[in-house]
Chain A
Amino acid sequence: MTPEEPPPSRSTGERSNTPASHRVTGTNSRTALATLPAVLVTASLCLLAASLAPESARTGVAWGGGAAAVALCVAVAYAAHHRLVARQLRDALTEEQIKAASGRAATQHFAEVTVPALVERLREGASAESALAAEPAGDEQQRRTLHLLATEIHRSESVRAAAMAACANAAGRVQAMTTSMAADLRDMEHRHADQDVLGDLLHLDHRTAQTGRLADCIAVLTGARSGRRWAKPIVMESILRGAMGRISGYQRMRLHSTSSVAIAGHAAEGVMHALAELMDNAANFSPPTSEVHVYVEEVSAGIVVTIEDGGLVMGDVALKRAERAVSPIDWELPSHSGTRLGLPVVGRLARKHGLHVSFRPSAHGGTGVLLRVPQELIVHSWPQSDAPAAGAPTLEAVVQPAATPAPAAPAPAPAPAVTEVRVPPVPGEAALVPEEGSAPADSVPAESAPAGSADPADDLAASSPFAVPAQPGLEERRTEAEPSHPAERPTKDRQTLAFPAVAPEAHGQPADPGATAGSTDPAPAPTDTPSAEPAPEHSGMVEYGESGLPKRQRGRTLAEARRPNSAARAAARANQPARDPSQSGSRFGAFRRAVRDPQAEGTDNTPPASPAQSPAPPTHASSRPEDDSE
């Protein structure tokens, strides 16, 4: 109350000057009005008393009564006047109090509503004029205050925006530069075989990656888009190594990852960067000789990457501060000092991608960081063409325990189909089979039941990035076609039948899945039923040429072609060596003779010479064009 009191009193004192004349005349007339009855009453009483009084005392009574009446009238007038004045003053006081209250409310509104709204408008990018126009100010003082405020804030805001844009732009350029430098370095690393040169290139590569991370940091903090986008999911091992490669102490990182999942391409860069910052923290705040361990764990909510160091233990306060720094909500750049950019960057990335980061004391004695990648960013598939590394080992690991004989189907499924297969990491065999191809499943029981232990290895390996579908059925047909001479008739038939199936395999293997599926599906159905009985020992075997070397189908990689099952290879070897040395020897001898006889140039001497040696070569010579045509 006390601070509020003075202004009204002062104001009434000031204000009473201006309407003083009006008020004085008002009070005067009303005072006269109030005094009139008293004058009339006292005058009549005086006259009455003077008339009633005896003659002797009349003068005295008249004088006394008149004096008393005058005194009474003056007193009444005085009292009435002051009463009126007091009432007027009280009214004026309440009026001024009301005015003061409304003025206070206006000031409060100005401070609590108008100014913040103006500031917000300016922060949102409005110009000073438009923000001022949108916020009507009360009086002149407020208007001037608002104007000053608006211009100042607008100027600082535009300066800040320009600085951010400049930083973001510069960071983007550095990012582009480091990306192209990394690509160049990769090319150079492939080109230079010298170990010293390679070592230097790797060193430069590492430095470039660190520079790129710094640029990424600035880009993230300034709100620019992230450095690069990956077109396809990146497997976890590559994510971890990509993150590891961006920090200085990467040689101290120990990755323990058996996960085969991949991170969606649009989020891969962000996850990698966040992991890199956390790894860098762990490496920086632990002794330079200690190792930092990185574990990957698949949980129902996604993937949890744990980074544990053996360094300093963070106290409760530090842990809280770190948690706050990386919390996805409530992120603000100016609240962090400029030297420690890592955790704010992680927080920003976490908010962007929905990552969850938490800290805890580590069993290694230091601090453990848990980064959880949500399920939406995870892709459960094996990338086909590139990143051969990570999908493959887990595939093998799946094959080894799960090689049950029953569900082994030949894998004519084209390569793109495999990417669609969503398979849990370990019990994958059961899920793979029905999706890869239900059509060939009917041809399974005849041929693959005896050799089931060999087949799934082939067909899962075929779905690995290095290989192309193996097609055991086709190979089986063709391998048996060559060594088994007695069955001439069916061999011819099968070879002609096999042609349409092989041709699309060679031409349209990666590009045209429909053609492959369409042509291979009808092929096994008619041919496998007659060939069921000689099949077992050859099923899943690689085809061998006459020279004893494995033959490679067109479109298949060498690695796959050269991967015979050991048993099948032994069987094939057992079949062939009887004729191999003599045949090759005779053929080579024929060549030598052809070379030595200069006159035998015009007519081909080799066919007459070789039948004398052995009866076998002509048949093979006749069979060779067929092979070449394949």
Chain B
Amino acid sequence: MSGPDRPDRPGRTSRSAREESPDRLYTVTGGRSHSDPKEFDLVTLVVSECSPTITMQSEHAAILRICQSPTAVVELAADLDLPISIVRILLGDLLSSGRITARHPRSTATDTASSLPDPDVLKQVLVGLRNL
């Protein structure tokens, strides 16, 4: 009922913009559809370790250019207009060739700060902000 309708609407609007490229996704990844899910999750921060070269696949070059400052995987996917899984595969290529490094923000946060604000504190902050 409303289930098929709801995803159809935005799909249709985004299709017109997205459709204007003859690239198919399997050509972007060379036919691969699987990547190591442990390497990258949605918020893994990616930093490029070298600048893009002219012989590179354009998506790789774009990733390297975007990731000159740390960028989350999900933002990369949004910037490139590619599905997350495809971006993960591309990132896996770059990671295996050492062109990027990946950091999981949670692990670094627990390493350095070891004190993530718990939800209670955040709620209190919210209350405090409203009180201001």
Are A390 and B58 closer than 8 Å at their CB atoms?
A: yes
A268 — which chain B residues lie within 8 A by C-beta?
A: 22
A201 to B35, CA, bound (A): 15
A436 at the interface (CB under 8 A from B): no
B65 at the interface (CB under 8 A from A): yes
A101 at the interface (CB under 8 A from B): no
Contacts A187-B15, A386-B17, A563-B69: A392 and B125 contacting too (C-beta < 8 A)?
no
What does the 1/0 interface line of B93-108 toward A look like (CB < 8 Å)?
0000000000000000
A434 at the interface (CB under 8 A from B): no
A189 to B25, CA, bound (A): 8
Are B22 and A272 closer than 8 Å at their CB atoms?
A: yes
CB closest residue in chain B, given A250: B27
A187 to B16, CA, bound (A): 11
Closest Cβ of chain A to B56, distance in Å, is: 6
Are B11 and A396 closer than 8 Å at their CB atoms?
A: no
B23 — which chain A residues lie within 8 A by C-beta?
A: 238, 241-242, 245, 387, 389
How many residues does chain A have at the interface if contact means C-beta atoms less than 8 Å apart? Answer: 63
Contacts A187-B15, A594-B128: A244 and B27 contacting too (C-beta < 8 A)?
yes
A436 to B80, CA, bound (A): 26
A563 — which chain B residues lie within 8 A by C-beta?
A: 68-69
How many residues does chain B have at the interface if contact means C-beta atoms less than 8 Å apart? Answer: 54
A256 to B128, CA, bound (A): 59
B128 — which chain A residues lie within 8 A by C-beta?
A: 591-592, 594-595
Central interface residue in B23, B31, B33, B125, by most chain A CB within 10 Å = B23
B7 at the interface (CB under 8 A from A): yes
Closest Cβ of chain B to A351, distance in Å, is: 22
Interface residues of A in 565-616 (CB under 8 A from B): 591-592, 594-595, 600-601, 604, 606
What does the 1/0 interface line of A198-209 toward B look like (CB < 8 Å)?
110011011001
Are A250 and B31 closer than 8 Å at their CB atoms?
A: yes
Are A230 and B20 closer than 8 Å at their CB atoms?
A: yes
B1 at the interface (CB under 8 A from A): no
Closest Cβ of chain A to B61, distance in Å, is: 4
CB closest residue in chain B, given A465: B62
A562 to B11, CA, bound (A): 29
Are B24 and A209 closer than 8 Å at their CB atoms?
A: yes
B131 at the interface (CB under 8 A from A): yes
Are A397 and B24 closer than 8 Å at their CB atoms?
A: no
CB closest residue in chain B, given A259: B54
B62 — which chain A residues lie within 8 A by C-beta?
A: 388-389, 392-393, 466
A400 to B34, CA, bound (A): 34
Are A393 and B27 closer than 8 Å at their CB atoms?
A: no
Interface residues of B in 76-118 (CB under 8 A from A): 79-81, 83-86
B29 — which chain A residues lie within 8 A by C-beta?
A: 202
What does the 1/0 interface line of B114-128 toward A look like (CB < 8 Å)?
000000000011011
Are A202 and B25 closer than 8 Å at their CB atoms?
A: yes
Contacts A272-B22, A386-B20, A562-B69: A397 and B127 contacting too (C-beta < 8 A)?
no
Interface residues of B in 1-57 (CB under 8 A from A): 7, 11, 14-15, 17-31, 33-35, 37, 51-57
A268 to B20, CA, bound (A): 12
A238 to B84, CA, bound (A): 20
Closest Cβ of chain A to B7, distance in Å, is: 7
Are A591 and B125 closer than 8 Å at their CB atoms?
A: yes
A186 — which chain B residues lie within 8 A by C-beta?
A: 15, 18-19, 25
Closest Cβ of chain B to A230, distance in Å, is: 7
CB closest residue in chain B, given A394: B54
Are B27 and A396 closer than 8 Å at their CB atoms?
A: no
A576 to B14, CA, bound (A): 42
Contacts A186-B15, A189-B25: A231 and B54 contacting too (C-beta < 8 A)?
no
Closest Cβ of chain A to B30, distance in Å, is: 6
A183 at the interface (CB under 8 A from B): yes
A348 to B83, CA, bound (A): 37
Central interface residue in B14, B19, B26, B33, by most chain A CB within 10 Å = B26
CB closest residue in chain B, given A588: B125
A343 at the interface (CB under 8 A from B): no
Closest Cβ of chain B to A412, distance in Å, is: 22
B21 CB contact (under 8 Å) in A198, A244, A250, A387? A387
Closest Cβ of chain A to B40, distance in Å, is: 12
Central interface residue in A182, A205, A234, A390, by most chain B CB within 10 Å = A390
Are B52 and A393 closer than 8 Å at their CB atoms?
A: yes
Closest Cβ of chain A to B75, distance in Å, is: 6
A604 — which chain B residues lie within 8 A by C-beta?
A: 132
A271 to B69, CA, bound (A): 38
What does the 1/0 interface line of A253-288 toward B look like (CB < 8 Å)?
000101000000000100010000000000000000
Contacts A190-B83, A594-B131, A604-B132: A245 and B68 contacting too (C-beta < 8 A)?
no
Are B26 and A245 closer than 8 Å at their CB atoms?
A: yes
A237 to B28, CA, bound (A): 11
Listed by A's residue number, 30 A-B pairs whose Cβ atoms lie within 8 Å are: A183-B19, A186-B15, A191-B11, A205-B25, A206-B24, A238-B22, A241-B24, A241-B27, A242-B22, A386-B18, A386-B21, A388-B58, A389-B57, A389-B61, A389-B80, A392-B62, A392-B65, A393-B56, A393-B61, A396-B65, A400-B51, A558-B79, A559-B75, A562-B69, A562-B71, A591-B128, A591-B129, A594-B128, A595-B124, A604-B132
Other 9 A-B pairs with CB < 8 A, given A187-B15, A245-B23, A393-B56: A195-B35, A203-B26, A206-B24, A234-B21, A242-B27, A245-B22, A251-B30, A386-B17, A591-B129
**List of 8 A-B pairs having minimum Cβ-Cβ separation, nearest first:** A389-B58, A242-B22, A199-B33, A393-B61, A595-B128, A245-B24, A397-B54, A241-B27
